[in-house]
Amino acid sequence: MLASEDISTANDSLLTKVLSLHPQVALRPEPFGALAYHFDNRRLVFLKHPDVVTVVSALHPPLTLAEVLTQCGISPRRWPSFQTAIASLLGSEMLHEH
């Protein structure tokens, strides 16, 4: 219980963060979404939904994640799943924080 509360708090604070795609990451569109490849750490990550690709591509300073989600027309009901996806991309250094 505690652990999941920690995660949701952590993800909520994500909304106020200013994020962008790491400069060493390339995105390649695929039928299911996109592939992201990090040229420094050689990680290959699947972005498994076109909307995630839209959001990730739209990230740019000075916008916060919440502002980008709004701008992309993602209904707040779906934000938690986007926060999880963004948190994992941050964890694998596909995104970085400003």
Partner 1 sequence: MSTSSLVAQMKQGLDAPICLTWELTYACNLDCVHCLSSSGKRDPRELTTAEAKSVLDQLRDLQVFYINIGGGEPTIRRDFFEILEYSISQGIGVKFSTNGAFIDAPRAKQLAAMDYLDIQISLDGIDAATNDAVRGAGSYAKAIRAMDNLAAADFGPFKISVVVTRHNVDQLDQFKALADSYGAQLRVTRLRPSGRGADSWHDLHPTNAQQRQIYNWLMAHGDNVLTGDSFFHLNALGDPLPGLNMCGAGRVVCLIDPIGDVYACPFVIHDEFKAGSVREDGGFAKVWRESPLFLELREPQSAGACASCGHFDACQGGCMAAKFFTGLPLDGPDPECVSGEGAAALAAVTAVPVPMMDHSRRPVTNGAQSVSLMPSRASR
Q: How far is CA 25 from CA 4, 21, 40, in A?
A: 30, 7, 8
Q: Which residue has the tokens 């060493």?
A: 24
What's the closest the beta carbon of residue 18 comes to partner 1, in angstroms? 26
Which CB sits closer to partner 1, 29 or 61? Answer: 29
Which CB sits closer to partner 1, 10 or 26? Answer: 26
What's the closest the beta carbon of residue 67 comes to partner 1, in angstroms? 27
Say how far apart CA 56 and CA 37 lie, in whole Å: 13
Query: In the complex, which residues of this chain contact partner 1 (CB under 8 A)?
Result: 26, 28-32, 35, 37, 39, 42, 44, 46, 48-49
Which CB sits closer to partner 1, 20 or 50? Answer: 50
30: three-class secondary structure by DSSP: strand
* CB-based contact 95:20 (threshold 8 Å): yes
What's the closest the beta carbon of residue 37 comes to partner 1, in angstroms? 4
